[in-house]
Chains A and B, each alone.
Chain A
Amino acid sequence: MKRSALVLLAAVIALAGVLVVVWPRTVEAQPQLAESAQLRFVLTPASTKSGRNSFDLRVTDRSGHPAQGAVTVEPAMPQMGHALAPITAGPAEPGRYEVGDVDLLMAGQWEITVSLNAERVVIPLLLT
């Protein structure tokens, strides 16, 4: 009885070890911060998978006040030498922008250029 319990325990530990090693890890969609001379951009992608995506974008000045005006998002994939049409989005609420329907069809390293007025930043985005 005691022995079979030990065997069971060993099996559970071995299984847990295997799961820790082979469990598929996905890249979490993290907010990405980029700062220009006057503005602070925080871009959070809805997903880190290739395909249709959308961005949640917060733009403030360096002291935290929401920025004014419309942003332009220019996705590009430098490795393929390929750029997508730019997308312009107005604020959903002051300083917050929803950029929907971004077709990032290929997995790999993308460069998302975000500009507001004359300020522009480049935000890297890795898609799996």
Chain B
Amino acid sequence: MKRSVSILLLTLGAILGIAGPALADGAQAGADVHVAQTLGDRDLTVIIRRVAEVPGPVHVDVVTHAGSPAGEITLTARAAGAATSTTKVVLGEKPGFHSGVLRIDRPGPWELAVDEATIPFVVPALVPSPWENATYGGFIAAGVLLFVALLLAVFGRPGLALVPTAGVIAAVAVAATAALLSPSIPPLAPPGTQLDPTFDNVNDPYQRTSIVDFSRPPVNLVPGVRGDDLVLSLTDGSSGRPVDDLLVHDSAFIHLVVVSPSGNLLHLHPIRTAPGEYRARLKAAERGTYALAAEIARRGGGVQLLRSSIEVSGTSAARPQDGKAALATEIREAGRPSTITAGFGERDLQPWLGMLGHMIVIGPVTDSPAKAPIWAHVHSMIPPTPGLPDKPDESVAAYGPDVPFTYSFPLPGKYFVWIQAERNYEIVTVPTVVDVPAAKGVSEK
């Protein structure tokens, strides 16, 4: 009898050890969302921090840049059928981080309004996958069946104990198979990047869809001017309906590169004001033709470049851009990789739009930038930090001083080149001109 009791106690201990709470550990759902926004006269970066628990707080950082006027902005989080949460953030004179906290009460598609700009984002639900359930369930079942088998054996029914023993083997086999095969199961199409997010598919991301090709039609861009603002109207190239499924790519919905009539470069990030309508303030507008190109990424598809031009009747006098950097260039003939390295002196550059630097290339220019055949956006990348899944934000001023770019100029001729990097929350724009020689010994095709 004493022996039976000790066996029972031991078994109980073993079961409690195995079948502890099966928490979904290590599952990192979502990441910080960085969105650059040209909101009125301000250039902001809005960072929606990863949501740790639902319902719970969502931390929003608003990063101001040099030349951004002080003031107050209103942050609002809203979703269909959920209570709206509002907070005010006071932006100081000094550029930098300003924080606000909002409350969300359910996973699903949400919208963050920053004054008149709206940023759609998805709060993912922590849902254990079917193979996780099979693994944990299998091991728990094995533990319980082991206990039953021991009970039967202790109370003198060894023959009957064979039945739960077979169950133990089956349950362990199921759990081990699920655990070993789960890394090779392809990930499902995530709502928000491939599928349009709804409350249903965010809360049940493992439901299968029959879609295999997620790509979407191209987009038509029609620019317009309303007051001081450039207004971009985006419509679907196949249905003509407004395009309201832009993804945040390289930290913005739209990278709008604008070249003024006098040849100044603006790198704007229009705000979403309505479905398919984006707006950006054109500061110090000049009179003449502005060349513009918008980089967008639709849900389920790659990045596309939309080029256009617009007449603006501004009154400002042109003031040349005067960013300074030591440029080391090695220009090869057309079609071969050329390198341009901008030296910024001190090792205190900040990541801007997730990159160390940006280089805009427009050319070969014979008439106006609007008619140049090549329009390129080259990145200089932040070296990845092992073990850190989230990219560094602008508070890390520890990069540079050399910002290298490699680009194969496709055609010979004269190119306008602008290099952009961030220091002290100020975007430095360095203009230059590059002459690319024709390829040697290559006949015209």
Which residues of A are at the interface with B, using a C-beta cutoff of 8 A? 21-22, 74, 80-86, 105-106, 118
Give the residues in chain B near A105, CB-CB below 8 Å.
Answer: 381, 383-384
Give the residues in chain A near B381, CB-CB below 8 Å.
Answer: 80, 82, 105
Number of B positions contacting A (CB below 8 A): 15
Contact with A along B375-413 (1 / 0, CB 8 A): 000010101100000000000000000001011100000
Q: Specify which of B180, B337, B441 is in contact with A86 (CB 8 Å cutoff).
A: B337
Contacts known (A21-B180, A22-B180, A74-B337); A83 close to B384, Cβ less than 8 A: no
Q: Which chain B residue shows the least CB distance to A21?
A: B180
- Is there contact, CB below 8 Å, between A83 and B379? no
Give the residues in chain B near A83, CB-CB below 8 Å.
Answer: 337, 406-408
- A106–B381 CA distance with the chains assembled, in angstroms: 10
- Is there contact, CB below 8 Å, between B406 and A85? yes
Contacts known (A80-B381, A81-B379, A105-B383); A118 close to B441, Cβ less than 8 A: yes
Q: Which of B48-89 contact A (CB under 8 A)?
A: none
Let me know if B339 is at the binding interface, CB within 8 A.
yes
Additional A-B contacts beyond A82-B379, A85-B404 (17; CB < 8 A): A74-B337, A81-B379, A82-B381, A83-B337, A83-B406, A83-B407, A83-B408, A84-B406, A85-B330, A85-B337, A85-B406, A86-B339, A86-B406, A105-B381, A105-B383, A105-B384, A118-B441
Q: Which of B175-209 contact A (CB under 8 A)?
A: 180
Q: Which chain A residue shows the least CB distance to B404?
A: A85
Q: What is the minimal beta-carbon distance from A26 to any residue of chain B, in angstroms?
A: 16
- A81–B376 CA distance with the chains assembled, in angstroms: 11
- A84–B380 CA distance with the chains assembled, in angstroms: 10
- A67–B339 CA distance with the chains assembled, in angstroms: 27
Give the residues in chain B near A80, CB-CB below 8 Å.
Answer: 381
- A105–B382 CA distance with the chains assembled, in angstroms: 10
Considering the complex of A and B, which 10 residue pairs feature the smallest CB-CB distances, nearest first? A83-B406, A85-B339, A86-B337, A85-B406, A74-B337, A105-B383, A84-B406, A83-B337, A21-B180, A105-B384
- A22–B184 CA distance with the chains assembled, in angstroms: 13
- A123–B408 CA distance with the chains assembled, in angstroms: 18
Give the residues in chain A near B339, CB-CB below 8 Å.
Answer: 85-86
Give the residues in chain A near B384, CB-CB below 8 Å.
Answer: 105-106
Give the residues in chain B near A86, CB-CB below 8 Å.
Answer: 332, 336-337, 339, 406
